[in-house]
Amino acid sequence: MARGSGFRTVIKVVKAIDRAQKQAAREAERRHKQGERERAKKQREHDKQTRQKDKEVAAKEKAKILAHEKEQTAREKARIANEKAQVAREKSQIIEERKRFKKTIENAKAAYEKRCEGRESLRNEFVNLELR
């Protein structure tokens, strides 16, 4: 017959159940921690992607601003070049007008000299006629 009262068997079963519960609790905790790690990893990846997208957007904006500034600088240089060319044309016109004015003065002076010479020759001719 039975040699014991079964108390040992009950103790063994209770200890086995206790070990199984502890093991199950450890497994549940391990799974929970693993889930937390995965969620943290996904959050870091998401944050990294967001930062990367923000960097790309910022880079595009910066490139856009630089292109706009470059375009403005080019327009400003072209405007300055046009102004310089206009000033050069005006100076050239002034120089040409001065040359024409000088030439007109020289022509008038030459005509005056010619008239003076003609009068002098007439005067000398008249004096010579009167003296003879």
pLDDT values of the chain reduced to their tens digit, one per residue, 132 residues: 456 678 889 999 999 999 999 999 999 999 999 999 999 999 999 999 999 999 999 999 999 999 999 999 999 999 999 999 999 999 999 999 999 999 999 999 999 999 999 999 999 998 888 887
Give the tokens for residue 130. 């009167």
The C-alpha atoms of residue 94 and residue 100 are separated, in whole angstroms, by: 10
Rounded to two decimals, what is the model's pTM?
0.47
Helix residue ranges, H only, the chain:
7-131
* Cα–chain center distance at 3: 96
Query: How many residues would you count in the chain?
Result: 132
Contacts of 88-93 with CB under 8 Å at 24 or more apart are none
Report how far apart, in Å, the C-alpha atoms of 34 and of each of 22, 47, 126 are. Answer: 18, 20, 135
